[in-house]
Amino acid sequence: MTARVWYQSFVHPVDQRPYIERLQARLDRLADPGVRFEVKGLDPPDHLFHPLTEFRCAAQAIRAGFEAERGGYDAFVIGHFQEPGLLEARSSLGIPTVGLGEANLLTACTLGRSIGLVTIDPIFVPWHLRQVAEMGLQDRVVGVRPIHVDLPGFMAAFTDEGAYQRVRAEFIEQVRPLVADGAEVILPAGGLPMLLLSRETPFTIDGALVLDGIATAVLATQAALGLRRLTGAVASRRSTYAPPPPGAIEEFVGSRW
């Protein structure tokens, strides 16, 4: 029996369909037999970079998680490095819930002592610093640096070699100061650069490993599926991921915001 995984991307399902199709094809190649990832988009997508937009996308992603569980999916992935809504989704869903950023940060800790993040926009630097602090990894992350590439620039880089080399050069420019500060593992902090740079896997810059974030999310999801199959465990319900009280889910799903 095939395990179905809802992979929630934060791009538009139509306007960014070429990206979604490339992501789906890579997930198909990476997944174990018997596991099927299905990429879904958001409408409106995460295109106006700001915490307010992340908040709106969090509500959309949480609703998608409920839809996934009620639709018989076996796991739910928030395929956005900032993973807004992860706490709320994981505490409310009865299926494994994986966050792209969390999976990559925790995996990076097993591959090197120090980590550097390269984010997709300067506005996300403080977001990632808070994300790192919430996970207690301040002593492992040496810094977060942004690249300056807009969405059309990323999309062009998937099909145009010149555009790809420009994005790659910008990425390397931001990685080198992180490596100079001691970073041993580099995380592209976003699904777009993760997928784009995966063509060079394994990819190293000045000896530092650039983690393949999409492959990492696949492995984390399959591990979560395996853990549930073998032990029945989804998440601790003691405190952080305690389930919502009766009626809270119905109230959230039935609300208009």
**CA–CA separation, 84 vs 141, rounded Å?**
20
**CA–CA separation, 241 vs 91, rounded Å?**
4
pTM for the model: 0.95
pLDDT mean across residues, the chain: 95
What's the mean pLDDT in 83-109?
Answer: 97
With cut-offs at 50, 70 and 90, classify the pLDDT of residue 54: very high
| Percent of all residues in the chain with a pLDDT value above 70, rounded to a whole number | 100
With cut-offs at 50, 70 and 90, classify the pLDDT of residue 47: confident
With cut-offs at 50, 70 and 90, classify the pLDDT of residue 150: confident
Least confident of 12-16, 84-88, 133-137, 176-180: 12-16
What's the mean pLDDT in 13-23?
Answer: 92
Q: Can you say whether the dihedral through the CA atoms of 234, 51, 126, 46 is positive or negative? A: positive
Instruction: Decide if pLDDT at 257 tops 80.
Output: no
Domains 3-99+215-254 and 102-214 share a fold: yes
Domain boundary assignment for the chain: 3-99+215-254, 102-214
Residue range 3-99+215-254 in CATH 3.40.50.1860: yes
State the CATH architecture for 102-214. Answer: 3-Layer(aba) Sandwich (3.40)
**CA–CA separation, 35 vs 63, rounded Å?**
23
**CA–CA separation, 217 vs 76, rounded Å?**
11
Q: Can you say whether the dihedral through the CA atoms of 18, 19, 23, 26 is positive or negative? A: positive
Tokens of 78: 């928030």
**CA–CA separation, 5 vs 68, rounded Å?**
8
State how far Cα 176 lies from the chain centre.
23
**CA–CA separation, 60 vs 42, rounded Å?**
7
Tens digit of each residue's pLDDT (9 = 90 or more) over 111-135: 999 999 999 989 999 999 999 999 9
Q: Buried (b) or exposed (e) across 238-257, using 16+ Cβ within 10 A?
A: eeebeeeeeeeeeebeeeee
Which amino acid is located at 141 in the chain?
V
